[in-house]
Amino acid sequence: MNVVINSVVIKTRQGEVRGSAIDGVHSFKGISYAAPPFGANRLLPPQPVEAWSGVRDALNFGPTVPQPLAPSSLDDLLPNPNIPGEDCLNLNIWSSDLGSIGHPVLVWIHGGLFEFGTGAAYDGSRFARDGIVCVTINYRVGAEGFLDLGDGTANLGLLDQIAALEWVQENIAAFGGDPDNVTICGESAGAMSVATLLAMPRAEGLFCRAIAQSGAAHHTISAATALRVGQHLATQLGVAATRAAISLVPVDRLIQAQAELDAELAAHPDPDYWGSEVVSAMLLWQPVVDGDVIPSPPLDRIAAGAGAGIDIMVGTNTDEHRAMLVPGGAIDSAKRRLRQRVTPDFLASAVAAYGLPVEETLFAYRALHPGACSGDLLAAIQTDWYWRIPAIRLADAHALGGSATYVYEFAWQSPEFDGRFGACHGLEIAFVFDTLDKKFKPFMGPLLGTNPPQQLADKMHAAWVAFATNGDCGWPKYDLSRRAAMRFDLTSAVVDDPRSAERMLWAGVR
């Protein structure tokens, strides 16, 4: 194939930007949607970008937001470029048709435990090839994005996402997009953000559809817990627990302190010290139910009708939590302990911590997973607590309204590493973006193997394109009587109520 590269200039409301075009797909990278969040703007809501004269190059990805290094055990699985610079509240656009207006828009919100990640880790060119204007964004993470000190300022990362969506409303028509046909889509913490945005008054009118991949509406913390975390951070830094004091701490020191708190949480997960929401999720930084940006728990708001006018697709991967337990050998440690005791203490403790009856739960999961070792059972239970049950509850809550709800499960199991990862967390991303090609360095790339099934990518990518275009995924809508879900695999098929046993087991608990 001959690769033809050209440049093109587009005028936004803030100024002109120069992008590039390769074989008919235009890309614009590193466009600022908000002012750099440093100096006088640090730890404050996003501020408008100052207009500029002349033409700014948008040829390369822009700076990434401040963040610690991702866990070393996931380095090969999660490409996460670290690009220095202060102008980090930026976005990237791929479009195949700049001469017309009216193409559907998909805005991708990256994952990363609310502590890592960047829009620069994704390539939206295949969406653009298929008529979708694809946008990926950065937003503040960690303390920079979710510090709450009880001072009326919280959820800056979510406010960044809203600022990016507002930029899209104002400017995307210049790139061939329809501001009235915007779908937000995210995975993991990005999906949790998507579900939270569904329930946020400030996000109303900024999108008409939403896709939540492996993340839903459960993962928030109370203002009291967030304040406790903020105070622990100030103590770790040796400064007063005020926004002004922490904003003067050098970025590198703040990131180091976050890493120190993460290590302390892992070593001593005491709910009385950290707060139960933090310990159960092992996440220090999460969206905060502050009574303002997030008025009340998102799932409660969705059940009460928030987001009722938005079509949604929500789903999970069959073996989500194996991505967390296989690297580093935690799942093997569980196996070794199984040889010592039939019911390992740690597994029973985990079940009890989730509020489930231990004996009944272990009996049920052994029946659901015949021959599973202790580590496999732990992975299945944590998959349900962390990912699958919240997705089911989100689908249930939204299905009560009048707009479409669609559910899927990604079940293709990686053949690599003796198949031990299964259909784990993040494995579906390369299929959704149709970037199985090695040139894209896709998420979970080492798990794709030498010959990943392109036909599965064709089917999933087409479903995401169809949903972003007209709100119809191509399989039956989800309702509380049938609970239809598309199970994506080498042979994909609709399955009715595919996780009924788990759903009922967790009833009243999760």
359 is catalytic: no
As given in the structure block, the two tokens for residue 200 are 């946020």
In this prediction, residue 3 carries a pLDDT of 52
Average pLDDT over all residues of the chain: 93
Which residues, at least 6 apart from 256, have a Cβ–Cβ distance to it below 8 Å?
A: 68
- Which domains occur in the chain, in start order? 5-222+287-316 (3.40.50.1820), 319-505 (3.40.50.1820)
Please give the DSSP secondary-structure letter assigned to residue 121. Answer: G
Amino acid at 28: F
Which residues, at least 6 apart from 229, have a Cβ–Cβ distance to it below 8 Å?
A: 148, 221, 261, 274, 275, 278, 284, 285
As a dihedral over the C-alpha atoms of residue 448, residue 453, residue 459, residue 460, rounded to 10 degrees, the angle is -10
Which among 27, 32, 188, 280 is annotated as catalytic? Answer: 188
Each residue of 298-327: pLDDT tens digit? Answer: 999 999 999 999 999 999 999 999 999 888
Which residues, at least 6 apart from 510, have a Cβ–Cβ distance to it below 8 Å?
A: 218, 354, 355, 384, 385, 389, 390, 393
In this prediction, residue 336 carries a pLDDT of 47
425 is catalytic: yes
DSSP codes joined into one string, 140-192 = --HHHHH---SSS---HHHHHHHHHHHHHHHHGGGGTEEEEEEEEEEETHHHH
Do residues 305 and 401 make contact, with C-beta atoms less than 8 angstroms apart?
yes
Which among 144, 166, 277, 320 is annotated as catalytic? Answer: 320
- Rounded Cα distance, 317 and 498, in Å: 13
The structure's pTM equals 0.95
> What pLDDT band is residue 93 in, cutting at 50, 70 and 90?
very high
Each residue of 362-412: pLDDT tens digit? Answer: 999 999 999 998 889 999 999 999 999 999 999 999 999 888 999 999 999
Q: What burial class does residue 86 get, using C-beta atoms within 10 Å of its C-beta: 0-12 exposed, 13-18 middle, 19+ buried?
A: middle
Assign 3-class secondary structure to 411-426. Answer: CCCCCCHHHCCCCCCC
> What pLDDT band is residue 72 in, cutting at 50, 70 and 90?
low
Each residue of 19-68: pLDDT tens digit? Answer: 999 989 999 999 999 999 999 999 999 999 999 999 999 999 999 999 98
Which among 95, 425, 428, 461 is annotated as catalytic? Answer: 425
